[in-house]
Amino acid sequence: MTEGMAHRPDDRRRAWLARLGAGIGIGLAVLALGGCKTPPPPPPPPVDETLEGAINGVLLDMARQLGAQAGTERSAVIDPLLDGRSGQQTRATERVVQALQAGVPRVLPKVRLLPFDETGAKESRWLFNGTLTAQEGAPGTYKLTVALSDRAGGVVIARGVAPLKDSQLDLSPTRFYSESPSLVRDRAVQGYLATTEQPVGQAADRVYLDQIPTSALLAEAQDAYNHERWDRALELMSTAAGRDDGQQLRTFNGLYMANMKLGRTADAEAAFGKIAALGLATSNLAVKILFRPGTTEFMSDAPIYTMWLRQIARAAQASELCLTVVGHTSKTGTEAVNKALSLRRAQAMRERLARDAPALGRGQRVRTEGRGWDETIVGTGTDDLRDALDRRVEFKVDNCV
């Protein structure tokens, strides 16, 4: 037996042991890998629903949508945000605008914000507008929507939406809106609201965009009114009234209120006559007349309400229109009681109109309806300035039969 043959069994044993060890090692490695599952990804960070967090989230989303455009120098203005339900400016929307003004330079440093006045409106290429909408059944919870439009192209180029929670936001309307005699949700406001809801890449409301210079003038006038600069408010509102696109309820509400503050009662009544005529011509005349609880008696300012109804009666009689007077209530008390009360108030309005314009009392020239709280705009049931729009009387144009 040769030397090589003498050592062959040991070689085979060593080879077998080596293979066995390798197999065990592989098996252990497989077991180890099988026992260590890939950990799940960490949960996303909580959404910052503070006012600043919501603004930051909206602007970051808009910057992502803009892409390369975000790095291009652009001038822009902010048309003051509106309450999504009422179409009014409120203390809350004023705070949101302040936060937006602070956030734009931080997130979109290439965007140069200009004041929203006539000069800024003429020089700006981009336009921010938006809404703050209270979420029903969740006090202190809102949806913030901001749209960015390219005025030259007439297109919405970015849009951001974010939840917002803040129990301290004040939904009371600004002074201009709280003292306006009529609801100012007209075609101009409808165009504003429609633009905020338009998907990216779609056309912004053309009427709204075309009216931006006059809207900026009206914004200046409203600011002057809010700060008790009555003469300046009257001057700016008068300028707007001289323009074709200034024939808006905001304009004539402003003329009425500024003249009243300055003691020019005859001019104020003439301005209210234009509110009545424009409202009836567009079938959009809703007047904030407050009644004593549970009655058809005016709560206060009876001489002013009498003047309003006198102008509405004259406008209706001159136009030979037929009307339906619709009474509304805020969301307090029972539904049945509010339905009946709103009808009695509408009937009382018809009787008062007929005193000033007897033709309105004949036949079916003026009908009445009571809708209780079915068509609340604000719906808080607070029975104060916040839901004053819910306690309104509407004058709707009807076909005469």
**pTM of the full structure:** 0.83
State which of 179, 208, 237 marks the end of a domain: 208
Each residue's pLDDT tens digit, 172-218: 999 999 999 998 888 999 999 999 999 999 999 999 999 999 999 99
Q: b/e per residue, 181-191, with b = 16+ CB within 10 A?
A: bbbbbbbbbeb
State which of 208, 225, 240 marks the end of a domain: 208
Which residues share a beta bridge with 148? 128, 158
Establish if 6 belongs to a structural domain: no
What mean pLDDT is reported for the chain? 87
Can you tell me the distance from the alpha carbon of 104 to that of 160, in angstroms, rounded to the nearest whole number? 13
For residues 199 and 291, state if they share a domain.
Answer: no
Residue 2 has pLDDT above 50, yes or no: no
Q: Which domain holds residue 119?
A: 51-208
Q: What is the CATH number of the domain that holds 312?
A: 3.30.1330.60
369-393 average pLDDT score: 73
State which of 182, 208, 234 marks the end of a domain: 208
Q: Domains in the chain: how many in total?
A: 2
Contact status, residue 392 vs residue 287, Cβ threshold 8 Å? yes
How sure is the predictor about 110, in pLDDT bands with cuts at 50, 70 and 90?
Answer: very high
**Which tokens hold the place of 288?**
């904030």
Contact status, residue 232 vs residue 251, Cβ threshold 8 Å? no
